[in-house]
């Protein structure tokens, strides 16, 4: 019994106590620090973001930093009476209200009445209202005037998962911060740190599976780790994590993505059968597959060192290999197919059938050449033909041939006119002069003829061996006609 009483859940035990401990919210932390250091603390703050990413934790750290008796710059010391009382939730000057269960006008009246009194032992009287979107319109309207012109010793901090439901008149009186989901590699690093402190032997892939299942929430990740330790003890494997949370292993997910990129329908169907028989969450599989191809698009566009990649170094290595043999336009079209599948999964009864058909369609998309690829291949082939056509161009040397051909007719005309008069040899002398007149004709006729062959050889392009070699490198590509 005493051992149970000493146990503290991991999310509570390793909750951040200072700004330096907060993971994945650097822009928000930096702004709050600068506001404290510069003495530009606003009357009210609004923290918006999904569950488990640190909204309430940041609110408490901010309250401690404002009321700390011996702060270390912008960081609370964590040792003074005010810091300890705020951390324990028993400070008279820091009041927390759960708006999910206290959402009426009667619940906010004590706040309105208490703001006129100065803090008991702190610099500020701070009100933290969690899940503030649950407050009724009447409660918001009751707070409106106090929020707009609070006394100089009062500060408000609101936290919510649904910022769109907060009244616009309230948002305009607050400084809003949108907290983002924590990156997978940041969650893995934090879990690894906690395992080291707790003496837990956890595989790297097991930590990655926990981080994937947490979907960007640090609290969910620590709760899952706590659950796995209770299930398996101090040694946690990937199989344990996958079995408890119904996830697909990283290698199996990457293998399925590779089968889609290769157009291997048999491998796709076998993978889906294996996941279904193992009781995996098929709807979550769809989301993770979409995330994998999203990372593939980001890697092809920005490179493997981009901070936008939500992947570990091992995942980035696999993504780099898969990105080598596929055109980015095909990957983008596969993502479109997966997004459509994700949308339809909300309404379909047989998730497996929809996933199988959608992934087969995605594999055909990945194995079919896009119009851009074909046009690029045609341009490359045409540029090659121009080089080869430039060689026969000197064959216009037969141009002198027309010069010799018109000369014999000129002589024959003279010979026909020669028998009539005896002084035929004398008129024969001017005859060469008219023969010189047709000389411009040969220059006009052959000059435009060399460029004529290229436009009229669509069939030659289709039968060109070089063009067929290019198409051979594009699996599934066929050309019907070229216009």
Give me the domains of the chain, ranges plus CATH numbers. Answer: 2-178 (3.40.50.300), 184-245 (1.10.8.60), 250-367 (1.20.272.10), 371-389+455-483 (no CATH)
Query: Bigger pLDDT: 471 or 258?
Result: 258
Write b or e for each residue in 30-53: b if 16 or more Cβ atoms lie within 10 A of its Cβ, otherwise e: eebbebbeeeeeebbbbbbbbebb
**Per-residue pLDDT band at 407 (split at 50, 70, 90):** very low
Please tell me the predicted confidence (pLDDT) of residue 480.
56
**Mean per-residue pLDDT, 402-423:** 41
Band of the pLDDT at 457, cuts 50, 70, 90?
A: low
Burial of 418 (0-12, 13-18, 19+ CB in 10 A): middle
The pTM of the full predicted model, rounded to 2 decimals, is: 0.69
Q: What is the pLDDT of residue 367?
A: 81
444 confidence band (pLDDT: 50, 70, 90): very low
**Long-range pairs, 332-336, Cβ under 8 A, ≥24:** 332/297, 333/365, 333/366, 333/370, 334/260, 334/261, 334/293, 334/362, 334/365, 334/366, 335/290, 335/293, 335/294, 335/297
> pLDDT tens digits, residue range 46-61?
999 999 999 999 999 9
At 268, the pLDDT band (50, 70, 90 cuts) reads: very high
The top-scoring range by mean pLDDT among 32-46, 224-238, 439-453 is: 32-46
pLDDT over 60 at 10, yes or no: yes
User: Which is higher by pLDDT, 141 or 432?
Assistant: 141
**Residue 249's pLDDT band (cuts 50, 70, 90):** confident
- What is the model's pLDDT at position 449? 52
479 band by pLDDT with thresholds 50, 70 and 90: low
The answer on pLDDT for 348 being more than 50 is yes
Task: Give the tens place of pLDDT for each residue, 61-84.
Answer: 999 999 999 888 899 998 899 999
What average pLDDT score do residues 125-129 get? 94
Strand partners, 178: 48
Q: Are the C-beta atoms of 245 and 213 separated by less than 8 Å?
A: yes
For residues 249-266, give the mean pLDDT: 91
Q: d(Cα 403, Cα 199) in Å, to the nearest integer?
A: 99
Residue 220 has pLDDT above 80, yes or no: yes
pLDDT at 483: 58
Main-chain dihedrals φ then ψ at residue 49, nearest 5 degrees: 170, 170
427 band by pLDDT with thresholds 50, 70 and 90: very low
CA 27 and chain centroid, separation: 20
Strand ranges (DSSP E) for 18-169?
A: 44-48, 94-98, 125-130, 154-160
Q: Which residues contact 459 (CB under 8 A, 6 or more apart)?
A: none
Within a 10 A sphere around the Cβ of 456, how many other Cβ atoms?
8
- Given a cut of 60, whether residue 398 has pLDDT beyond it is no
Helices (H), 103-160: 105-114, 137-148
């Amino acid at each position: 019994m005493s051992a149970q009483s000493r146990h503290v859940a991991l999310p509570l035990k390793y909750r951040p106590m200072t700004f330096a401990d907060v993971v994945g919210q650097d822009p928000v932390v930096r702004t709050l620090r600068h506001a404290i250091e510069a003495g530009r603390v606003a009357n009210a703050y609004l923290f918006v973001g999904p569950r488990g990413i640190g909204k309430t934790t940041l609110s408490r750290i901010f309250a401690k930093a404002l009321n700390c008796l011996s702060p270390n710059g912008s960081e609370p010391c964590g040792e003074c009476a005010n810091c300890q009382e705020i951390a324990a939730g028993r400070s008279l000057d820091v009041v927390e209200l759960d708006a999910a269960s206290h959402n009426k006008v009667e619940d906010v009246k004590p706040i309105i009445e208490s703001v006129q009194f100065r803090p008991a032992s702190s610099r500020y009287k701070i009100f933290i209202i969690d899940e503030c979107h649950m407050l009724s319109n009447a409660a918001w309207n009751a707070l409106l005037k106090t929020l707009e012109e609070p006394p100089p010793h009062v500060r408000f901090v609101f936290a919510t998962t649904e910022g769109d439901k907060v009244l616009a008149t309230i948002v305009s009186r607050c400084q809003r911060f949108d907290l983002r989901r924590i990156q997978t590699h940041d969650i893995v690093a934090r879990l690894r740190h906690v395992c080291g402190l707790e003496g837990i032997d956890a595989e790297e892939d097991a930590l990655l599976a926990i981080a994937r299942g947490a979907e960007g929430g640090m609290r969910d990740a620590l709760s899952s780790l706590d659950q796995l330790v209770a299930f398996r003890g101090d040694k946690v494997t990937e199989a344990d994590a996958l079995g408890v949370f119904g996830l697909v292993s990283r290698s199996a997910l990457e293998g399925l993505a590779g089968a889609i990129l290769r157009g291997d329908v048999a491998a796709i169907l076998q993978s889906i059968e294996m996941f279904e028989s193992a009781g995996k969450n098929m709807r979550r599989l769809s989301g993770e597959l979409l995330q994998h191809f999203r990372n593939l698009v980001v890697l092809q566009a920005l490179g493997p060192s981009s901070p936008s990649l939500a992947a570990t170094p091992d995942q980035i290595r696999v993504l780099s290999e898969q990105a080598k043999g596929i055109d980015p336009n095909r990957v983008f079209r596969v993502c479109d197919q997966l997004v459509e599948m994700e949308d339809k999964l909300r309404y379909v009864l047989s998730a497996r059938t929809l996933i199988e058909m959608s992934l087969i369609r995605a594999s055909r998309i990945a194995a079919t050449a896009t119009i851009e690829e074909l046009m690029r291949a045609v341009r490359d082939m045409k540029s090659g033909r121009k080089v080869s056509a430039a060689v026969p161009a000197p064959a216009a040397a037969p141009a002198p041939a027309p010069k010799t051909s018109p000369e014999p007719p000129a002589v024959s005309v003279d010979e026909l006119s020669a028998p009539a008069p005896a002084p035929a040899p004398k008129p024969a002398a001017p005859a060469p002069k008219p023969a010189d007149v047709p000389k411009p004709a040969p220059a006009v006729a052959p000059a435009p003829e060399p460029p004529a062959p290229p436009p009229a050889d669509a069939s030659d392009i289709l039968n060109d061996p070089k063009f067929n070699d290019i198409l051979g490198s594009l699996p599934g590509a066929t050309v019907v006609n070229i216009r």
